Amino acid sequence: MENILQQTRYASLPEAGLQKQDWTHKSVVMEKFEKYDADQRGTVGEIHVADPRMTCRNVDVFYGDAHAIKDVSIDIGRNEVIAMIGPSGCGKSTFIRCLNRMNDTIDICQVTGEILLDDMNIYGKDVDVVPLRAQVGMVFQKPNPFPKSIYDNVVYGPKIHGLVQNRIEEDEIVETSLQRAGLWDEVKDRLDQPGTGLSGGQQQRLCIARTIAVSPEVILMDEPCSALDPIATAKIEELIDELRAQYTIVIVTHSMQQAARVSQRTAYFHLGDLIEVGETKKIFTNPRHTLTEDYITGRFG
């Protein structure tokens, strides 16, 4: 066991030179023991990755006076799928919405700390959220296609960002996006019909197509399969696996099986604390924090 710890510690020494600023805060990583009790908050496991795309440091989120995210630090690696799990209300959605500043739309929501996207602090003063959200796309829990045609749904993002110039390019981006989202064959004959007329699973894949049409670098997915049947879910999981080659994907899920199937790393949240992060396999086979273990073994949640 000591061995494993050593290994983790070793792996944790970051190559990217991030340690300079990182270790000031009390709670970031607890590495002393192999197992931790419920009353020990602070993050267990490996928050670092060798090649991070996004770096979150000491992130706090408040809704008015309510402290929804408490001092969370975590790296999100390039071309990895990271799953966020945890009991309902623990702040998964809140956290993921910080990553593309979607929380800006909530007046009472306040975010402090640092979130870097490729070394740019996205909460910096002069950061424009419009290109940021083009870079960090989002798929929501409930499929929310625009009440427009399937075609317009997909082409809307590229159009407003000026990624397409003419009809030919538009057609092309619609086809490739729908194909990558695995929806093309089902809708190619009715692109002019409203996107809201599709089934729930198709709608969600349409939303994914809409998101990848703007070629984001990171895709955030907040329980993308919670409204879908197992077949649609399987399709989307397959899709996530394919997308991984090009994108960084952060997925919130309530299904431990899903997290295990699609993700390489898993983060466990509990009442606003990031309790444990690590390789998915390790988290599910050998959780080190009692809270993680309790959640995974189904003792609560």
Ligand X SMILES: Nc1ncnc2c1ncn2[C@@H]1O[C@H](COP(=O)(O)OP(=O)(O)OP(=O)(O)O)[C@@H](O)[C@H]1O
Question: Toward other proteins, which CB reaches closer, 82 or 134?
Answer: 134
Answer for the pair 69, 95: CB distance below 8 angstroms, yes or no: yes
CB 101 → other proteins: shortest distance, Å? Answer: 9
Is residue 138 part of the contact set for other proteins (CB under 8 A)? Answer: yes
25 binds, among ligand X, other proteins, Mg ion, none (CB under 5 to 8 A by kind): none
Q: Which residues, numbered 233-292, are part of the site for ligand X (CB under 6 A)?
A: none
Show the tokens assigned to 175.
């086809």
Interface segment toward ligand X; rule CB under 6 A; list 89-97, 125-133, 158-166, 167-175: 89-97
Q: How many residues bind other proteins (CB under 8 A)?
A: 29
Q: How far is CA 280 from CA 128, 202, 287, in A?
A: 34, 28, 10
Helix axes 167-180, 230-243, angle to 10 degrees: 110
Binding mask 87-106 for other proteins (x = CB under 8 A): -------------x-x--x-
Q: Which residues, numbered 250-289, are part of the site for Mg ion (CB under 5 A)?
A: none
Alpha helices in the chain (DSSP H): 2-12, 19-22, 92-98, 129-135, 150-161, 167-180, 184-187, 200-212, 230-243, 256-262, 280-285, 290-296
Question: Toward ligand X, which CB reaches closer, 17 or 298?
Answer: 298
Q: Which residues bind ligand X (CB under 6 A)?
A: 63, 66, 68, 86, 88-94, 106
